[in-house]
Amino acid sequence: MHNRSLSRRSLLAATTVTAAAVASGVAPAVADGRAREDRLKQLISGMSLEEKVGQVFVPFVCGTSATEPSPEAVEANLAILGVRTGAEAIAKYHLGGIIYFVWSGNLQRPQQIADLSNGLQRAALGTPGQVPLLISVDQEHGSVTRIGAPATLLPGAMGLGAVGSTDAARTAGHIAGVELAAMGIRQNYAPVADVNVNPANPIINVRSFGSEPAEAARLTAAQVRGYQRAGVAACVKHFPGHGDTAVDSHTDLPVITHTREEWERLDAPPFRAAIAAGVDSIMTAHLQVHALDPSDDPATLSHPIITGVLREELGYDGVIVTDALNMKGVMTKYGEERVPVLALKAGVDQLLYPNNMALAWNAVLAAVKSGELTEARLEESILRILRLKDKLGLFDDPYVSPAEVDRKVGTRKHLATADDIAERATTLLVNKGELLPLSKRRQKNLLVVGANPKFPTSDKHTSVPALADALTGLGFLTTALPTGESPTTAQIDAAVAAAAGKNAIVVLTRNVSAASAQRTLVRKLAATGVPVITVAIRNPYDIAQLSGVRAALASYCWGDVEMRAVARVIAGRAEPGGELPVPVQRADDPTKVLFPVGHGLSYDD
């Protein structure tokens, strides 16, 4: 029978240092730490096996409310979790954490997010265990942004890599952390610590700080400090390194061919730096690294990689969380029922987003009951998770205030800082004849065409009209004509016709390959004689595939903050401050570099 009198409040009330501890010569802080550790262990000992299993899971739930979701969210929860609401999911599975997504209906606006967080915490504290939740999100910023305006939108990792400033990286992390904490989100799956040494990487790419391990290490550590100073657990990812892959682990199992020496030189430095900075959590990668584990198990399920390398060699004793367990990369070798058990046996602590929550939860429960997974091993992970919750103050007060949301989310100061960082990230690669900055007297009439993706946080806003609107606001006469990433012959012809009488053409490009019709668009627009300015809104590598360009910029993302910065740079209202954090190879000979790391022009050059 479990002792239910050991409640959350009685166990983790403010610790008083005893006279005996003082008399023994033990420092008060040490005595307090030991006392809190003992109380966490007592809390674990009072849990049922089912409650222990639940603490390691971090699934999603659908709906904007913990108790009153929409009919559509209720239907989705019933289909996925077998319950109607988030509160019921917490009670059924004794959950230790929840992850928020846009598509699950969790992230509509800051006040609603705060209310959802409070509702979920009330549900958790209403269960017998009375253990608060660790609520998380994937808010990397840049191309992976879940929470949109009025929250502050910041440049992503490669944009910060282009700035190259630890102060900017730390500040961006702190702003993001302050706003997340105000909404009740206390763990963020950022920053990305992968070193993007492969230009063909389909999944990391601009989510990385760059291709230089030492620079990525500096900026990773800075972001960790920024987030954690704001009271949010940072989570560097994806260990042991996802930067040299040409396969997306969402759809298949990538293979890293680095030798052990190459791994130490290329992949390990940012993770070592994050650990030295005291990072609260580290996320695993679903990929094979033969040099670290000859069995070729996915790293998430590899005891030699998770326990052998990360725990024992690198000395990390914080929380290890899996990447999402619904991804094909982790389910390729083993079925989804085995994956959560094998991940825990490998040494991870949190099981993120299993494909089938009931199947995964019951598989872990059965593994403990059968002895395949010891209860002691499970309790090791729970203790790490509870330590983190305690460090974040969740046992003292897990709730957030609506007034704090208004005071801290999307403030003028935060927004102004985001704009400044985005300007400093914008990189001028080419500027023939000093075309830029444009003059609204001599070059007033502009055409904006090209790739037109939706903003990462909005279906309503897209990049071409956003840039056109920003330029219009700066005094230009601007025509917006989206042609997309695969423009048809008719769309290209329409763009060429629209160029007549214009003083300059701005072409947004995204992921230009040798076979891309975007190359034809740029070439035919350049043939009109009207000066062409390209803006690579994702990969900075695009410029290697384009000809006839008078000026070229890289913005590293296509969101509102980046498009405003590009407009100000084009108009001369801001200097292009960025320098390439990755090399751009020549298209005709990838062994040769067109623009090296550190390349970036200014208007004084």
Write down the catalytic residue from 244, 323, 469, 560: 323
Cα dist. 104→108, 146, 327, 468 in Å?
10, 11, 17, 32
**Tokens in use for 159?**
């944009």
157 within 8 A of 538, measured Cβ to Cβ:
no
- How far lies 238's CA from each of 388, 394, 415, in Å? 20, 26, 29
| Backbone φ and ψ of 601, nearest 5° | -90, 155
| 256 three-state secondary structure | strand
Cα distances (Å, whole numbers) of residue 502 to 184, 481, 529: 49, 13, 10
Q: Are 477 and 445 in contact (CB under 8 A)?
A: yes
257, with CB counted inside 10 A (0-12, 13-18, 19+), is: exposed
Neighbours of 264 (CB within 10 A): 14
DSSP state string for 283-326? EE---EETTT-TT---GGG-HIIIIIIIIIIS---SEEEPSPTT
The strand pair at 427-431 and 551-554 is best described as antiparallel
293 annotated active-site: no
- Burial environment of residue 147 by CB neighbours within 10 A (0 to 12, 13 to 18, 19 or more): buried
Half-sphere exposure of 173 (CA within 13 A, CB side): 33
Residue at token pair 């030295």:
276
Q: How far apart are CA 557 and CA 563, in angstroms?
A: 8
**Residue in this structure with the two tokens 């910041």, named with its chain if needed:** 154
Q: Distance between CA atoms of 328 and 313, rounded to whole angstroms?
A: 28
Closest by CA position to 451, among listed 500, 492, 487, 494: 487
Q: Which of 264, 167, 182 is nearest to 221 (CA)?
A: 167
Catalytic residue numbers read 323
